[in-house]
Structure 1
């Protein structure tokens, strides 16, 4: 279809915000469902024109399913984009022609000539549109700055980091418009930086249904799935969504196609587990997310003491079904069975569930009790000792007070885990974070993190702990990269506030205060008590009245909000720590 232009006399001039849109996969939709696509496109056009006109925007060019619109202010453009995405998402499209529209916004001065705009802003917004996905709305840094305060109700702007865009000389900061009524998890942006992950087979493992007839066995079913995820994550040819994101679907009736869209994966593995006495039966089925077609299904049975072998057989079957050319040796774990004592493994799974899903004080205390039982049954259980160290760190941090006997106990357990880690990356990185925080053992922690990353570069929990160790003791640029990768692998993580706080600290250390603010604001929304990085970001940006108001709320909600407590936090970078202390004093945090 030839491009259509609007008369030049109706178009605005000066500094404008441009909104470009197109339909993802439109060529395929036209080829497979021509008549339905014709009707869907008419509705798509109607929705876009209405939303743009309502905000006094100007559609100056269309071509095929693409729209190009100009607005004389950024907030109006953002309102129009959000309204259009909400309307398109709510539309009852036929399943065969579901319309997913990607959008991009950028602001700048352009030349108006014969009913069309020319200049760098048009090139930029075109490049930005090209890296997005259907249903996603991307903003340039310029547009984000122009619409920071008057965002639509419920909307927020999330920093995706810096990316290289085609033909642009330097990496660009890219932001995503998010809203609770819209999908928020997308595959990595289609830039050179993300291409390696985009080319990998991507998979999400959903929680397996517990058919044991005993709700108390949920932790066992979850633990088995967790080990399958870890096994698949260690296949470097795979991109595997982390447990904490896939487990947001636990207990829900799910649409596999919707799961695929929300998590940005090609494949979904689901199944069930039945445990009766000393016998275990596990069923699994692998489904193509886009079509819903079943690729593979099988049943695995054995004795309880064979559980680790059963998990490996499932992982091998999934790899073979998705990527037959992969050598099966790739998914063999580098460690032996974590323990020969199944009761110890049982206690470990209970503790892991409490710490990873809801690490509040009571849950931490219960997890420590479970881990003491596990270690008493198997004194050589390194994974349990590493987890004990982490639980001690969480307990000390949440209490806001170091009890030296407890700290020594946690450090001892973590060091014993490192002494016999069996090349298990999660044991390595969990123990590393414990000794970094509890014992300020920076060099030992960094060495353990480096080894864990070589063993498992794409496991979210490894990236999470490694990012925090680097944020406290290493290169903040490395920390930022690790935590952004963890967020990509686990976009719906219930512990997202923890990931975002680590990201904010890394950005603060790098002097990237706007990005630190974006991460810390989102962390605060995820967990209202996660506010220290937000306070530091506000002070760094010169927004002292807001920082003082936040400091007052922090003092009212927690007695541990003091500078003396912050001084016990183990930052290796003394200059950064001094800047933080000065910022806290400026905001009114007491000594």
Structure 2
């Protein structure tokens, strides 16, 4: 028997795969096979050969290639992707062939014509982590590149790879084309880089403070898993360089940039921040914060939280506007999700139904989209009256929300919405547990703070509730209307009836339950004219209104004395028992 040649050496492994290959084959097998063979012969093989690579395996939907140089491997990958974009530009979006490419450097075993070892598996997992039309490389590969080429990649941080014990630090090519509707997924998250805040004080010893602000904002935004935040090491690399914002955006591969400055004068400090759309240079939002520096680190923490929470809202709004500008034929899972959020936060008669459809469409395109599962659960109970939804609807919503948490255990939004589902099921202990988990995952999410405050108010922990609600309003000074509903309910329980009525009047298109709360507020405040007006409006909406039905169906209150307080207000207004 002749022994097969076995060789062990350090090599650079490139794994490629065709995005949506099964879908393309199902749609048109003959055309897909012809197109793949043509691309392998005209683009893949020539580029690999020109850079000293060797194709170890060539499958229908991908390849495994070995190089002796990381620089050559990355150069080959970039050339492949750029030539593919040019080749496919005239092809209908849904029929385009896109590659994902992953590159690793590791010790491998070459056995005959085969390539073996954990390093090969990592390359395959990196390929799966790449964006459609993108390249994902291991940090060890990134370190081999020249300074210019390194700038073409954005820091993806450490990620867990399937069946790989240790997390791997990865970098993503910043010029991947936007994926089509059948290939996109929430992995293509909104990307943002925070540039180092300028120290405008003229005192070099204050650099630590401006740098600290910048790094805290990066850390705070990174807690929102719907965002892809560039690491400080990358964004700080542009400090002091004459590079325009558009070029920085291209090099970092981000949609948005944040820039700002810190100026200290005596015992006062001014911090400015602004959000910029990278490609156009358009300023989307700006704000300044003037504070005393009595406790400089407390100021840093406070301003960081406010910038982070406001930025998230601004980024989300900009994303929604951008998504709605695109034709419906090119919407991907994330864009359906954004459309669902628009409807979920609106108060039109058909908005809950539209939101439910949008979140369902997002899941059709990516069944593993955790937040789409969570918001589908919310839209489901919203369609059926929230806590008054039939038991089978509440059960189905709970199953969806639990699945969302399982799909992404680090997403605070999923934990928060699971808490909300438990609240509407009147499972207050479980709701509080999940809200607290959501807060631990992301203390910058104002929605979690306000919803937690609303729950604590319902549980009779009113002083603690107001602290949570006040902090939520502080972090989100331009909140959605439902914040006012939560605040109004808490203020009523506190006996601050006039303030409660003012909060509830912020709600657009109030329904019967909100109108009933307003009646109770005015009656308890002793405002007879306002009571009569609100009562008339309530009875127009709900001619057969009964206090008992409202107490049992319209209130999610744990303590009997709170329910009695609402009963007294409604009966004082002369509404039927």
- Alignment TM class, shorter chain as reference: 0.3 to 0.5
**TM-score, structure 2 normalization:** 0.43
**TM-score, structure 1 normalization:** 0.42
Which is greater in Rg?
2
